[in-house]
């Protein structure tokens, strides 16, 4: 089998990509190619956004065919953070594994250096938390279930070009800060963290405090991670949408967040921004895309980072230099209670009432790239540590009061038979990268 290890020294930098458009139509290889080329050509970014995070390895509308984003990545030389959907039960996860095996069989010889890692699940622990369950009846996955899935993925890639791919999990920072989830931290090679200060609506969450909230979220995650690399798998600020306490959506605010939080991380921390385009053909509310409903290399705000230093990243990033798919040091746990406010909930109907689509609940893998030399984010840089918890995708932490939660949506099919409900919140899990659900659900949150 071809080696899938990359010698890249720079961190991965890219966006999140869903498997369908907001109208439920599946993305084809040419659609993904167009999106990947647009991201790489964005004005002001110097061609740096050449990585894609996926939520599923299954092509929408099929039981377990590898997602067409994989051959699109091969043709455009786009690196991939592969994802396997893990909140729909073992039968659906079997389809993810089948798509992963199909990826190895069909593409291993072409994926050299194009896989950043494999994420098993996305915000599954959030969805079994009290807030997650109140926001939506859709299932998540328990720590023991995720640990089992992670082992199944390791067994699947053993002896293949993906054997050395770092395997991790993506969730809100509060999920990692919860001691009952420690088994997941112990089982992974990297920690994928989602954080959205915009949704921290029980705090002073205006753009002037966004950096400190983000840093606080990273620090909490770092405290629980016990030295394992932290990858920023979702963060961003909406260009339009409702006000969340002090947080105002707008292009000016989104640009400030990009410059203060994003720019210092780009190049030294693995980052998949939310997002390139979260609404096509419809625009959701709130909308996080750096471009609108039409593919264009002209962003809606300035994406240049010249002279933007300090802030979210620090010299501690070198901590992840040698991390690969082998087990990392056991993580220490934190005793804080799990809670979160919702990050953008994916919606397949363009931002109106939550919609569902029939989609296969599996996603594929690809060639492997070990984490680059600087993939761990630290909060020691200027800008303040902030108090409390920084935002986390789908569920920013709170210290009492209410939080706005966007319920996950999207349905998937399992093994080509009866549909299996597959919740997809924040950033178009299985469905179109339709964007964020229009209205949130106000719920009471327990104090940290």
Which residues belong to the active site? 123, 234
Separation in Å, CA 445 to CA 133, 139, 205, 401: 12, 19, 17, 6
Write out the DSSP string of 250-295: SHHHHHHHIIIIIHHHTTTS-EEES-S-S-SSS--SSB--SS-SS-
Q: How far apart are CA 133 and CA 130, in angstroms?
A: 5
Cis peptide before 286 (omega within 30 of 0): yes
Provide the 8-state DSSP code for 71: H
The span from the first CA to the last CA of the chain, in angstroms, equals 48
Contact 21, 432 (CB under 8 A): yes
Q: How far apart are CA 287 and CA 299, in angstroms?
A: 13
Q: How far apart are CA 179 and CA 223, in angstroms?
A: 11
Buried b (16+ CB within 10 A) or exposed e, 216-235: bbbbbbbbbbbebbbbbbbb
Separation in Å, CA 12 to CA 56, 67, 129, 313, 382: 19, 21, 30, 14, 23
Q: How far apart are CA 260 and CA 3, in angstroms?
A: 37
Kindly tell me the sign of the dihedral angle through the C-alpha atoms of 234, 239, 240, 243: positive
């Amino acid at each position: 089998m071809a080696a899938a290890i990359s010698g890249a020294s720079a961190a991965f930098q890219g966006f999140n990509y869903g498997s369908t458009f907001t109208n439920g139509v599946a993305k084809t290889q040419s659609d993904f190619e167009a999106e990947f080329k647009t991201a790489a050509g964005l004005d002001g970014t110097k061609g740096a956004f050449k990585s894609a995070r996926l939520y599923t390895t299954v092509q929408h509308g099929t039981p377990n065919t590898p997602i067409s984003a994989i051959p699109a990545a091969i043709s455009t030389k786009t690196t991939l953070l592969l994802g396997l959907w893990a909140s729909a039960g073992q039968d659906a996860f079997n389809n993810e594994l089948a798509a992963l095996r199909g990826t190895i069989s069909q593409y291993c010889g072409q994926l050299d250096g194009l896989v950043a890692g494999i994420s098993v699940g996305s915000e599954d622990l959030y969805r079994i938390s009290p807030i997650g369950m109140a926001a939506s009846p859709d299932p998540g996955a328990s720590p023991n279930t995720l640990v089992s899935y992670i082992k199944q993925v390791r067994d699947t890639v053993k002896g293949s070009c993906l054997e050395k791919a770092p395997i991790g999990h993506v969730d809100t920072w509060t999920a990692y800060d919860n001691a009952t989830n420690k088994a997941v931290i112990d089982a992974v090679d990297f920690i994928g963290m989602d954080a959205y200060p915009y949704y921290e609506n029980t705090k002073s969450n205006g753009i002037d405090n966004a950096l400190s909230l983000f840093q606080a979220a990273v620090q909490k995650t770092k405290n629980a991670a016990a030295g394992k690399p932290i990858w920023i798998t979702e963060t961003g600020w909406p260009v339009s949408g409702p006000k969340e306490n002090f947080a105002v959506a707008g292009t000016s605010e989104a640009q400030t967040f990009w410059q203060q939080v994003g720019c210092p991380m780009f190049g030294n921390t693995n980052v998949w921004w939310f997002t390139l385009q979260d609404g096509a053909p419809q625009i959701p509310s709130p909308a996080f895309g750096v471009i609108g409903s039409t593919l264009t290399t002209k962003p809606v705000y300035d994406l240049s980072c010249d002279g933007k230093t300090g802030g979210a990243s620090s010299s501690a990033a070198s901590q992840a230099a040698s991390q690969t798919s082998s087990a990392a040091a056991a993580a220490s746990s934190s005793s804080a209670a799990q809670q979160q406010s919702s990050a953008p909930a994916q919606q397949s109907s363009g931002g109106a009432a939550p919609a569902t689509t029939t989609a296969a609940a599996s996603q594929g893998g690809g060639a492997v790239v070990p984490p680059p030399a600087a993939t761990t984010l630290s909060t020691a840089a200027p800008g303040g540590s902030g108090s409390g918890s920084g935002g986390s995708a789908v569920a920013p932490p709170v210290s009492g009061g209410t939080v706005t939660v966007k319920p996950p949506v999207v349905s998937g099919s399992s093994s080509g038979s009866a549909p299996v409900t597959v919740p997809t919140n924040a950033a178009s899990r299985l469905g179109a990268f339709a964007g964020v659900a229009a209205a949130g659900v106000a719920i009471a949150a327990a104090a940290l």
